[in-house]
Structure 1
Amino acid sequence: MKKVGVGIIGCGNISGAYLKAMASFPILDIRGVADMNADMAKAKAEEFNLTARTVDELFSDPDIEIIVNLTIPKAHVEVALRALDAGKHTYSEKPLGINFAEGKKLAEAAKARNLRIGAAPDTFLGGGHQTARTLIDQGVLGTPVGGTATFMCPGHERWHPNPAFYYEVGGGPMLDMGPYYITDLVNLFGPVAKVAGFTFSPRTERLITSEPRNGEKIPVQIATHVAGALAFKNGAVVQVGMSFDVAGHKHVPLELYGTEGTLIVPDPNHFGGEVQLLKKGGQFENQDLSSPYADGNYRSIGVADMAHAIRSNRQHRANGDLALHVLEVMEAFQTASDTGTTISITTAVDRPAPLAESLIDGQIGK
């Protein structure tokens, strides 16, 4: 199968994970990396034996079909729209945009140009989550009832070298970590119908303790503690908690309930992890992770799946409809909190196809 040319814009903290994983997918041909900071692009290019180029050069290169957009959240839609204008498909780091309105604008622009958009996370394609999906599709839970989705930590200023954007509009625990959890829940339970939520921000500024900005204070512009519930179209109700204000907790990341069993799903920020099933009247038992992509970091499998989908003329899984639905759901928590109402979700989305449907000998195929 002919390779798909890829250009990467944004050489920050997450780019290394993408570039390492892309070596696992022969269909991807990285034609260059770019960043507004030319020195960062040069350093990343040298580290991975690639070519540093300007953003305009990537947009104008006829051999590039997909722009992988790894910029900060508030630049995602601007860069993606430029890519579409240049005739390129685009795949963005999460979230798709910093609000539903701009995400919808991007989706409409892609459809008008007959181009594809996609967005992280693609961790739901990992072996742990695909194993959980297979079990649910086999009916082990019976009728889905509900679950819990929990991410809580003291904040990213402890470790990230430049954490200010996590506390600006477009950041916060819901837009930063929520995409992993809600995307995986859509993969497992299907689309969301309604959202109830409450938000809180106990501090107006945060103290950075990571290097090189240790000791600097940064303002907080968004809610840093979010709690609520998702009502899915299949009837299940999942409790959600996302926080940058919690010292520690004992909740598992994802726990799903049905009339016949309970399923422990691994951390949706990773591709593998233990899957445990309790059948009614029994005990939790570890499940066989027979699905591929459970043994490491494959952060770019969504790009590879998009590339194969372009060649095979099928829908890619980490697609624009999914990313826009997740963005609307995430924004609804704040809207629900502000208005004191339950928010109905307007976007429609299909559950992404199981990865097994396009695997050949354990590798993505047609």
Structure 2
Amino acid sequence: MVVVITVSVTMWAIAPARDDACPVGSYKFDELKADMYIQAVSPNGEYLVGRLDDGSDNAFGLWHDGKLSRVKGAPSSGHTIYGNLDVNDSGVVAGGGVTSWRYQGRKFQVLKGTKDLPVTTAVAIANDGTVAGEIGERVAAAFEGETRPVRWAPGATKPTPLRVPQDGNGQVRDISADGTVVGAEQGKGSDYSSAWVWDGDGHGKPLLNNHHKGVLSSNPVSVNGDWVLASTEAGYADMNAMVNDQPKGVVRVNLHSGRANKVTGVTITAMESISGRIDDHGRVFGYADDGRFSVADGKTTKLPGMRSPYPDAESEEEDFANKLLGIAQDGSVVIGFTWREENVRWSCP
């Protein structure tokens, strides 16, 4: 049984989508006081989804237009609340891990795996309801066990494979509002991954060229519009090298031109996880050297209003205890979680 409880709460007003990139100095900073740990924001910035802090293992919170709905009855595998959650511009939610689902029209649809790969991990959802994720032998993590990238078409519960070379292992990282999927492929017996991108029809290709000197591994992080944010790993002798205009470290890739540019001034790693984002203007959202949320677009600017974490920090883990959780497609809304265990948001006025 699905139970939806809606309550009015004091939360943020939502800024309209912008055709131009919001100047960083114009962002308004807010702290959210709500019984929910936010995990994702819709591409238009109007919906927020997160897990409730009441210990529920089959429920989530969905906020829209000043109201927080507590949705209960999610298909539970004992891990539902610890899985992924994402939401699109229509308020359709995808979530779960081990058992995954799509929530639409106040009903849950269980997303199925295959006979050999029954475990499902929903990662992200597009505006048409397409869910991108993985099927595997067990919970997908760091290529442990056999995992395959898939998508579930709008309304469908059976997966469609996202092909990778030689049926190697693969993982999904993100899907854009219009259905472009990014993920990583790892060939059998290989210690390195290769970033891949699949279009709305499911046709895939490598995001970067890993077969030149110096490039060992690449992993996509985020996709919006024509832009993909990725991280690459280079050989020790080529750590600062450029190979065919493909730089090492944090890079942004334009899908239209195919060019990759090195991003400096921000890191996209926090609390041992990758959590940077890129908007459809190509701006990179990550962390400054003091752990504050920052934007890189030719220069690096810290988002206003938030204190640096742990002023007397002695370890890198403390420095980067803030976590960036998501952005609207145009970058007009940014959400995060701080070392003070607070939900925070920046919005364009």
Is TM more than 0.5 here? Answer: no
Q: Which has the higher helix share?
A: 1
TM-score when normalising by structure 1? 0.29
Of structures 1 and 2, the one scoring higher in RCO (CA 8 A, sep 6+) is 1
